[in-house]
Amino acid sequence: MCACLCYEILKCCNSKLSSIRSDAAHLLYFLMKSNFDYTGRKSFVRTHLQVVIAVSQLIADVIGIGSTRFQQSLSIVNNCANSDKNIKHTAFPSDVKDLTKRIRTVLMATEQMKDHENDPEMLVDLQYSLAKSYTSTPELRKTWLDSMSRIHNKNSDLSEAAMCYVHVAALVAEYLWRKGMFRQGCSAFRVITPNIDEEAAMMEDVGMQDVHFNEVSPSSIFFLQLCTNA
């Protein structure tokens, strides 16, 4: 239900009617704050994750959400968080700012990828920006890391492709470790690169249904073998 609601709200944040955009932005803020209050003012993980997933789905559905209208809606959400005196001294305003920044990065990188499809280095940089913006959502992050590795392999940049595989392996291991299904998480790969700590930023929520990593899928077995060797 949260996923469907976030998707529809974000669509309305791109409406041509300013009144609908304003109502949608305030509703999105209310959803975030309600989630924050529900967790005892610790986080709004569920709304955060579902908003990031919804943005990805809207892009995939070819709905132009990178417009000025949508950016204005994000600004309204930020302004609500900054002006709300009830949560002024909590982490909530900065967390909201971080989420809207991630969304803007995704939109910018996605748009620019169209203009740089024949520039491999720029394309990989943009895909890295996307992967970094999706740090909290493992399935989406893995998608872009896989895409980066394919570009590196195509250009015979084998060391860079291998590093993408290491990050995917660490991502899978971290997820399974948190689920009690594997003996080590991403820290096992720190001996290869200190950048692997990026995979520890994964967020979890009991309502998440988009992650399908397990011990028996072919890709997971390959990655877990890498983890064991590391």
pLDDT tens digit at each of 230 positions of the chain: 888 999 999 999 999 999 999 999 999 999 999 999 999 999 999 999 899 989 988 887 766 677 789 999 999 999 999 999 999 899 999 999 999 999 999 888 888 887 887 888 898 888 888 888 888 888 888 888 888 888 888 888 889 989 998 999 899 889 889 888 888 889 988 989 888 998 998 887 655 555 667 666 545 555 555 555 54
Q: Which two tokens stand for residue 72?
A: 């204005």
DSSP string, 31-45: HHHHHHHHTTSS--H
pLDDT at residue 226, as a whole number:
54
Amino acid at 178: R
Q: What angle do CA 66, 70, 76 make, to 5 degrees?
A: 145
Smallest CA-to-CA distance from 191 within 162, 230, 140 is with: 230
The gap from C-alpha 40 to its chain's centroid, in whole angstroms, comes to 24
> Which amino acid is located at 29 in the chain?
Y
- Residue span(s) of the chain under CATH 1.25.40.410 come to 134-230
**CATH label, 134-230, candidates 1.10.760.10, 3.40.190.10, 1.25.40.410, 3.40.50.300:** 1.25.40.410
> Cα(155)–Cα(64) distance, rounded to whole angstroms?
31
Q: Mark out the alpha helices in the chain (DSSP H runs).
A: 2-12, 18-38, 45-60, 68-83, 92-115, 120-133, 138-154, 158-178, 218-229
Helices then strands, each counted (H, E), the chain: 9, 0
Other Cβ atoms less than 10 A from the Cβ of 151: the count is 17
C-beta separation of 138 from 213 below 8 A = yes
Q: Provide the token pair at 23.
A: 């109502």
